[in-house]
Amino acid sequence: MSRALRAAFAGLVTLVLLATFGLAATAQAGEVERRGEALVIYLPGELDFAQVVDRLQTEIQAQNWEIMDVQDLGAGMREYELQIENKVLSVCQSQLLAEALKADPFISLVVPCRFTVFREGTGDQSRIVVGFADPVAEARAMGIERYEAAQTATDDLRGALERLLEFYGQ
């Protein structure tokens, strides 16, 4: 293989690797990103954590979803001398749940849907992460074949993340 051909090939490989790993590793502002079987967004760390949680609740309720429970993981970790901001919101949309249960009662193993809000990093290097476990991915993992309601849930919850990004100008 000629030197020029090897150089061109190496350049092409480098571009492919950068596109595959370099760009995919960092979330772009204003995007919902897939992280494993979850969908997440990243907000600036200087935002007030409690206000982000409150705004997320507003966006969830705007979709006619109910907030079943808010668990403060940070409060539970203080006895272990861990100072974190981390809340889990359990949410449900009863009409979708009824449809899902008719299709396959095993879907109740992944109910309610859950959002998590946490601060990652410290100081100027921090950011607030907001995300939810994808109901479709969970249904598929359980072998549920009819998951139309789970798809609607994923779409609704993704919409809440997108509106949160819009609200904060991301």
110-151 per-position pLDDT tens digit:
889 999 999 999 888 999 999 999 999 999 999 998 888 999
Q: Report pTM.
A: 0.80
Range of the domain at 23: 1-28
Domain co-membership, 141 together with 86: yes
Residues paired with residue 115 on neighbouring β-strands, in sequence order: 89, 132
Burial class (CB in 10 A: 0-12, 13-18, 19+), 101: middle
Instruction: Please give the tally of structural domains in the chain.
Output: 2
Let me know whether 156 and 86 are in one domain. yes
Do 107 and 139 meet the contact criterion of CB atoms below 8 Å apart? yes
Structure tokens at 36: 């494993």
